[in-house]
Amino acid sequence: MSLPSPRVIESDAGRIEIRPARPSDARGWIDLLVEVSREDRYILLESVNTTRRELGRIFRFGAWSDQTAAVVAVAAGKVIGQLTTTRNRNIYAHTAEIGMSVQSAYRGKGVGAGLIEGARDWSRVFGVEKLVLNVVPQNARAIRFYEKMGFIPEGHRSRHAKLSYGYEDLIEMSMWVDTQDGA
Ligand SMILES: CC(C)(COP(=O)(O)OP(=O)(O)OC[C@H]1O[C@@H](n2cnc3c(N)ncnc32)[C@H](O)[C@@H]1OP(=O)(O)O)[C@@H](O)C(=O)NCCC(=O)NCCS
């Protein structure tokens, strides 16, 4: 499957390219996750458990496959945004989970929206009909962003995440994608 061409955002912070991740993005991807995970606990990322080498291998073969996508936003050669999709299995294979983050200095410039468009492109190519995510109820800015993107809340999961400090409730949100199969 050939990779899609990059999307470009011309922002006040310069040119931002959104495209499937390459092995050379592995270091920047990890640095971004570490930085964002330190911002606040509602981001639900306590530690980054992958090495640059492992991630590079994943990006070589799995950045745009029928099971997963890894999409980056790159500005001045630096990874400033990332999104992953993970397709569910069996009777849930028409759905995929997403996770994403944008570096604080680049928020509010359309990067998050561009990454979601990348996830929608991937869904259409591989016949995924529904994108799903979980967000902590206290992460109001992310919930507003997802609603703006077309996600709707579907349910409230009680104490569904268990972190080092205790449990968190989660809101499940979803968006149907207009697939080629006409879902
Ligand atoms: C949530 C996040 C991904 C949004 O990314 P972003 O690049 O700032 O979003 P965009 O600039 O593309 O915004 C797209 C739209 O959402 C709106 N939006 C973004 N953040 C918003 C906020 N805090 N409040 C209200 N609306 C918001 C924008 O106004 C924009 O709407 P418009 O098209 O009408 O102008 C980013 O804030 C982030 O990475 N946060 C930290 C990590 C995190 O919480 N991840 C989610 C864990 S579940």
Q: Whose CA is nearest to atom 23 of ligand 1?
A: 141
Q: Which pLDDT does position 43 carry in this prediction? A: 80
Q: Which pLDDT does position 182 carry in this prediction? A: 45
Nearest to 32 by CA among 138, 119, 134, 103: 103
Q: How far is the CA of 26 from the centre of ligand 1 (A)?
A: 23
CATH of domain 7-133: 3.40.630.30
Per-run averaged pLDDT (10 residues), the chain, 183 residues: 86 95 97 91 82 95 94 97 98 98 96 97 97 96 97 98 94 90 47
Residue type at position 34: V
Q: How far is the CA of 12 from the centre of ligand 1 (A)?
A: 16
Q: Which pLDDT does position 49 carry in this prediction? A: 85
Q: Which pLDDT does position 79 carry in this prediction? A: 98
Q: Which pLDDT does position 4 carry in this prediction? A: 85
C-alpha R_g of the chain? 16
Instruction: Verify whether ligand 1 is closer than 6 Å to residue 112 (CB atom).
Output: yes
Q: How far is the CA of 127 from the centre of ligand 1 (A)?
A: 26
Mutate to test the pocket of ligand 1, among 38, 145, 157 (most ligand atoms within 8 A of CB): 145
Instruction: Verify whether ligand 1 is closer than 6 Å to residue 26 (CB atom).
Output: no
Q: Which pLDDT does position 180 carry in this prediction? A: 56
One DSSP character per residue, 7-74 reads EEEEETTEEEEEEE--GGGHHHHHHHHHHHHTT-GGG--------HHHHHHHHHHHTBSSSEEEEEEE
Q: How far is the CA of 53 from the centre of ligand 1 (A)?
A: 30
